[in-house]
A = this chain, B = another copy of it.
């Protein structure tokens, strides 16, 4: 029996010890009328060899196209060491470290992670992860409502230039708690959020302002001005950040005069593969004074009976296990294994390596933009400094172009025209350090041909 070790003898002896005639008797408390007749709709078992072949066939069907999408998930080089350690049984098959003494490996690693994230964001403390960046922003909004005692309004300002799915998710998760989200427009020329749009709120009760740096278009925001506005208006500042970018960009803790209050983001760029969409992880950092409002697990260093230092889950009184209906969040299982990957990744890259990844990605994206905007029918949407993404505007609908590129083995970018109709045929592209100049050339050539052919056809 796959994965079940019982021999006939075992079964007999065990039933005897229980005093049950057969295994079926163990289910006798289930009302007879409810007993299921098995699971005929589930296919019969395959052995590992068969399932391996099946999965390989599925995978082969999908192939390995050359990717130029970012849009919230970034293809970076992941050192082999990362996943070879992450998948060690001791990390992979352990539970949440409830028994601290038997989980010092995971706990120490998480403490190291918290230290790294706090430093990367330039804030005091970090939790041990949330589900992802989008739901993390929702948690940040809920946290801001709890933490900003000066505000009663539950009004939070979000930029239009925020990842639109983040906005969707925030609405779904925080929306049930009567939080009102209002939108800050962006500059049509530069792509940056209009800080001047905050003026209309000056003097009003605003709970928090969020800004994404770089924003969804890849454009760099004027985070200092926004942060100062927020603090001047008793609002908390939430920074939504790409962790790679923090190696070169001013960290949230240093935005404006006082620094942002909460930093959140998706940790995927730190050693987590694209994985068809997940699992990734959300990170969150904040100031010391908000620690009791922060959702998610937190690891603390303490002493053991012999006075030796060790690590343990702490501040559990905020969490659902203990606090139940009054918990800071319902989150329980988080994304521990991905944090394990990120911690190893950051240890391998260090500040220097991460800065090189960031800078090289910026350079590559610039090269990509240069190459693609030379293609007739393609121009750049925004002229402000950006990180490693850019919006291109096509002279025709994006989708057929992307389909045509896909047939050539190229994933040409994210079609964002539906989400930003005012932009027209907008394509969000990204090139990280993993894309070579040859890759960029391949894309540019394919795009040239695609545009030529579809123009010819039109």
Asked if A88 CB lies within 8 Å of chain B CBs, one says yes
Asked if A453 CB lies within 8 Å of chain B CBs, one says no
Contact pick for A434, options B49, B87, B433, CB 8 Å: B49
Q: Please report the total number of A residues contacting B with Cβ < 8 Å.
A: 14
Asked if A12 CB lies within 8 Å of chain B CBs, one says no
How many whole Å from A361's CB to the nearest CB in chain B? 12
How many whole Å from A437's CB to the nearest CB in chain B? 13
Determine how many copies of this chain the complex contains: 2
Complex Cα–Cα for A433 and B50 (A): 10
How many whole Å from A87's CB to the nearest CB in chain B? 7
Measured between beta carbons, the chain B residues less than 8 angstroms from A52 are: 77, 80
Residue on B with the closest CB to A47? Answer: B77
Contact B84 A433 (CB under 8 A): no
Measured between beta carbons, the chain B residues less than 8 angstroms from A80 are: 48, 52
Contacts of A370-418 to chain B: CB distance below 8 A: none
Complex Cα–Cα for A80 and B80 (A): 18
Contact pick for A79, options B48, B84, B436, CB 8 Å: B48
How many whole Å from A269's CB to the nearest CB in chain B? 14
Residue on B with the closest CB to A48? Answer: B79
How many whole Å from A352's CB to the nearest CB in chain B? 12
How many whole Å from A244's CB to the nearest CB in chain B? 15
Contacts of A38-87 to chain B: CB distance below 8 A: 47-49, 52-53, 77, 79-80, 84, 87
Excluding A48-B77, A48-B79, 5 further A-B contacts by CB distance (< 8 Å) are: A48-B80, A49-B433, A49-B434, A52-B77, A52-B80
Sampled A-B contacts (7; CB under 8 Å):
A48-B77, A49-B433, A49-B434, A52-B77, A52-B80, A53-B436, A84-B87
